[in-house]
Amino acid sequence: MITTSDANEEQGKASFLGSIWLPTVTPHNLTPPLLTLIMADEDFSFSPTTPASAPSPSAHFYPFATSPDIIRSHEKDIFLTSNLVQQAQNIIRSLRGARFAHTYSNTIKNLTEILYFSLTTLIGNRTLGEEYCDLVQLEDDTLQLPSFIRRAGYIVSSIIVPWILQRILPAFRQRLRAKLERSIARQQLKAQQAKEGANPTQNNASNPPSFFTKLRIQKYILEHLDSITSLSPIYALSIATFYFTGAYYHLSKRFWGLRYVFTKKLEENEQRVGYEVLGVLLVLQIAVQSVLHIKKVGLSLQQEDDLETEATHSRRQDDALIHSIENPLKLPLLPASDARYDLSEDSSAIPWIPSGQQGRCTLCLEPFKDPSVTTCGHVFCWTCVRDWVREKPECPLCRQDVLLSKVLPLRG
């Protein structure tokens, strides 16, 4: 017969064993059944005769971690790794000098982070940030502790892959930019040759719209090559999704399916508030930037179309002017061979031009015929200076630039 004192003694032993055993177990060295037992509801009792029934994980599973705790854990790890990086740089600086430490600062940072996560996540332990916020990392599909492959894959994809991309992206962008520039120059040369060798009607027919679409796409890629080859937009979308769902703060965790759960149950007064407002603001920022970018690209394309239309209209006017010059509607009143003011026949035709050597053209060495002055002030025969400027648009004496439209005929 069991007395009351014996029952109290058995109950005291059970509570003593429970108080000793439960706190010493950590989630990292638990098998899945034992982890399920620890994460079960705390309202159970030990019976000396009846074994405890297995709890349901779906009904008594600890809640997933919320976004504030995940961010706090991540920031704690960043703070600790930055301190380790600073100490490592001080050691390297004292051993190899400041120049070596500055040259390989990025390498020191990445190697220090790899060492930190290898001593924590890779071997199955929690990071100091996860311990600080009472978080445990689980697989989202099996709700078990992450396998070695997932832990190693997370370290590789979060540290080593960005490190490699940071080293190879500049050379890749340079090669791609040079290739795009050559392709654009080649297509523009073909377009220019097609415009010069055909009239506007034939030119429009010989250049299909796909040609200009390809050229514009290549110009767009060349202009925004750095943004296109950057992972910043993907990271921004991933962070916005995290603010709404509270899962997968890092893109690598989303890829490998790693989520956080609390190691304790939260009371009603300990419920966390999400960051959905930040998600809305981030989505609005992305949307506004996208709209402004689309408007900028559309305005640039519209300006290109306007310039192309204006150039086509100008070419048509030039063609019409050349045609009217080559085929005039009526003959001019004065033949081109006859001069209106010939100083060889009448030296007083223009009285303010002195006679003698000063009244001769320096090109034909004869008296002026229809004397004309350039913008620099030198006087020549009209036909002489016209033929000269057509061949060489400069003054024959002082070599100053001269346009034929700026040559003025002199009158008495």
Contacts of 404 by beta carbon, 8 Å cutoff, 6+ apart: 386, 389, 390, 393
Q: What percent of the chain has pLDDT over 70?
A: 68
Which residues, including other chains, have CB under 8 Å from residue 148's CB and lie 6 or more apart?
122, 124
Helices assigned H by DSSP within 257-355:
276-326
Domain positions in the chain are: 4-60, 69-310, 356-409
pLDDT tens digit sequence for 329-342: 444 444 455 666 66
So what CATH class is 356-409? alpha beta
In percent, the amount of the chain with pLDDT more than 90 equals 36
Q: Is pLDDT at 283 greater than 90 in this prediction?
A: yes
pLDDT of residue 366: 82
The overall longest dimension of the chain from CA atoms, in Å, is 158
The model's confidence at residue 238, banded by pLDDT at 50, 70 and 90, is very high
Whether pLDDT at 9 is above 50 = no
